[in-house]
């Protein structure tokens, strides 16, 4: 598969994977740690959505499905499917060190491993998923935090997880 | 420099395009070992009187249980042994059972010592607010 097309598809898949898993496990509902709450209220002060702000603060302060997807891609590149499962284990340890129960991180890693395995049959490589995940995190945290938080707040309302 | 980086990564990932190629036992045996490790860890955890599900509310509970995190620890450790291509006897089944039992014991007796629960809002020191 053409690399550029593959990276675009991988970015969309990674974005859907980590946003759906993180929203389902309640990241927009409440800040897990104090830093996440401060980031969320700051984003709200700049005109964003409080639930989207809590989401952004939570994925910044502890390894959730976003970090899980990235680490599963790297583990799959190096070690195959067992690498993805090792990534889930390491994300779980990191979660517990960051005062987070860790449901979102481990689930995100395992679903990302499954997605990469399924997509390998249509010729997509784990490298494309690493690049795609970096692009996906950039759209949430990097380009325009306020508008991203509004979008995340709408998604949280759909899942009935708004703050 | 970029050639060196590219070669290192491509050698490391060589044959991993569909995963599992560098492991000595077949794909079916690997799947069986994972399933045995998961089931064995859950059963031993239930025998040790861990609850099946975490306490409510499920999504914010720090309590350990038989469903989570026992199987995650078991398959994570088993993966480490598999990628090192160390699969003891009977195509890894004995290893899967041993790891399942040990991970259940770890979760029951050592988990709270290794990963203590975070302080609650009342006990922690207040930085602001």
Residues from chain B contacting residue A25 (CB–CB below 8 Å): 59
Nearest to A100 by CA among B64, B36, B62, B113: B62
How far apart are the C-alpha atoms of A62 and A135, rounded to whole Å? 19
For residue B69, the cross-strand partners are B65
pLDDT of res. B18: 47
Please name the residue that has the structure tokens 């989401």: A55
Residue with tokens 């044959």: B15
Q: How far is B47 from chain A (nearest CA, A)?
A: 23
Q: In the structure, what pLDDT confidence band is assigned to residue A111 with cuts at 50, 70 and 90?
A: very high
Q: What is the mean pLDDT of chain B?
A: 78
**Does ipTM come in above 0.85?**
no
A135 touches chain B (CB under 8 A): no
CB within 8 Å: B59 and A101: yes
Average pLDDT of every residue of chain A = 87
Q: What CA–CA distance (Å, rounded) separates B77 from A161? A: 34
* pLDDT band at B22; cut points 50, 70, 90: low
* pTM of the predicted model as reported, rounded to 2 decimal places: 0.83
% of residues, chain B, pLDDT over 90: 19
Q: Smallest Cα–Cα separation from A94: which of A78, A109, A79, A81?
A: A109
Q: By the 8 A CB rule, do A148 and A139 touch?
A: yes
Which residues sit opposite B65 in a β-bridge? B69
- What token pair was written down for B91? 């195509």
**pLDDT for residue B19 is more than 70:** no
Chain A to chain B Cβ contacts (< 8 Å): 80
Structure-block tokens of residue B123: 């006990």
* Nearest-CB residue to A80 (from B21, B72, B118): B21
Mean pLDDT in residue range B26-50? 88
pLDDT above 90 covers what percent of chain A? Answer: 21
Q: What φ, ψ does residue B65 adopt, rounded to 5°?
A: -150, 180
Judge whether residue B122 has pLDDT over 80: no
pLDDT on residue A112: 92
A105 touches chain B (CB under 8 A): no
Measured between alpha carbons, how far is residue A78 from residues A83, B20, B120 in Å? Answer: 7, 11, 39
Q: Which of residues 29-58 of A touch B (CB under 8 A)?
A: 30, 34
Question: Touching check for A99 and chain B: CB below 8 Å?
Answer: yes
Percent of chain A with pLDDT over 70: 100
Locus of tokens 């517990």: A96
pLDDT value of residue B10:
67
Kindly report which listed range (A2-11, B6-15, B28-37) carries the lowest average pLDDT score: B6-15
């Amino acid at each position: 598969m053409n690399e550029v097309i593959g990276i675009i598809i991988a970015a969309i898949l990674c974005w859907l994977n980590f946003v759906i898993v993180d929203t389902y496990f309640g990241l927009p509902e409440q800040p897990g740690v104090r830093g996440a709450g401060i980031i969320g209220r700051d984003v709200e002060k700049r005109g964003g959505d409080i639930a989207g702000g809590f989401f952004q603060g939570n994925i910044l302060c502890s390894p959730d499905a976003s970090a899980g997807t990235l680490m599963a891609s790297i583990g799959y590149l190096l070690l195959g499917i067992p690498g993805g499962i090792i990534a889930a284990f390491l994300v779980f340890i990191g979660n517990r060190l960051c005062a987070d129960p860790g449901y979102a991180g481990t689930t995100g890693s395992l679903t990302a491993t499954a997605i990469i395995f399924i997509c390998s049959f249509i010729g997509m490589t784990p490298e494309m998923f690493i690049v795609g995940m970096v692009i996906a995190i950039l759209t949430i945290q990097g380009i325009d935090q306020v508008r991203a938080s509004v979008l995340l707040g709408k998604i949280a309302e759909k899942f009935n997880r708004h703050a | 420099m970029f050639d060196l980086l590219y070669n290192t990564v491509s050698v490391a990932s060589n044959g991993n395009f569909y995963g599992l190629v560098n492991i000595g036992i077949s794909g079916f045996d690997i799947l069986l070992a994972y399933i045995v490790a998961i089931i064995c860890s859950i059963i031993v955890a239930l025998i040790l009187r861990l609850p099946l599900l975490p306490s409510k509310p499920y999504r914010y509970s720090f309590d350990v249980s038989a469903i989570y995190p026992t199987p995650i620890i078991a398959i994570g450790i088993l993966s480490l042994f598999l990628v090192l291509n160390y699969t003891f006897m009977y195509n890894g089944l004995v290893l899967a059972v041993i790891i399942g039992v040990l991970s259940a014991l770890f979760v029951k007796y050592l988990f709270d010592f290794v990963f203590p629960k975070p302080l609650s809002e009342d006990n922690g020191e207040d930085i602001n607010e």
